[in-house]
Amino acid sequence: MRSLETAGLLLEPLTVAHAEAMFEVLSDPALYRYLDDPPPTGVEPLRERYARLERRASADGRQRWLNWVVREPGEPPLGYVQATVLEDGSAWVAYLLASRQWGRGLATRATAAMLEHLAADYGVSRWLAIVEVENLRSIRLLERLGFRAMSADEAAGHEPTATERLFVRP
């Protein structure tokens, strides 16, 4: 994994060393309106999670785990972008930025840089994302990046909840 730079943003490979700064970002209650996971309970559990993610692959080696901290150069982290790259050339992608950063186009730029990198360096040709149906901000972001809602046939086997919508960028 390598760092990525784009339009005033730096994406750094996530490491255990980011846990303390990211704990502050992830403690923002506004982030959890549309997320199933609760906020981290402390810095130490976050360090443990980041240690697992630093392996960059699932135990069976069938998935690549690619996680970047997003920051403006010289500034503390603003959030993250991440991808789970599968053997079939597809990747599940996600992004999260501190609520005070919303509306600045940062998540769109960071996610676009990650998608470009996944295509060039990992051969990804199909991207997938899951979003709560009420999360209009995130849906608009995906649409700006060329994603579209999956049809029922395309979503078969993925098992979204009743409040989730699956998106794909072929």
Q: What is the per-residue pLDDT for 37?
A: 87
- Burial label for 162, CB within 10 Å (0-12, 13-18, 19+), is exposed
Q: Which CATH class is domain 4-123?
A: alpha beta
Alpha-carbon distance of 83 to 37, in angstroms, equals 17
Neighbours of 41 (CB within 10 A): 9
List average pLDDT for each run of 10 residues in the chain, which is 170 residues long: 94 98 96 91 96 95 96 96 97 96 95 97 96 96 97 86 92
Instruction: Spell out the domain ranges in the chain.
Output: 4-123
pLDDT at 13: 98
**CB count in 10 Å sphere of residue 19:** 21
**DSSP 3-state of 81:** strand
**What pTM value is reported for the model?**
0.94
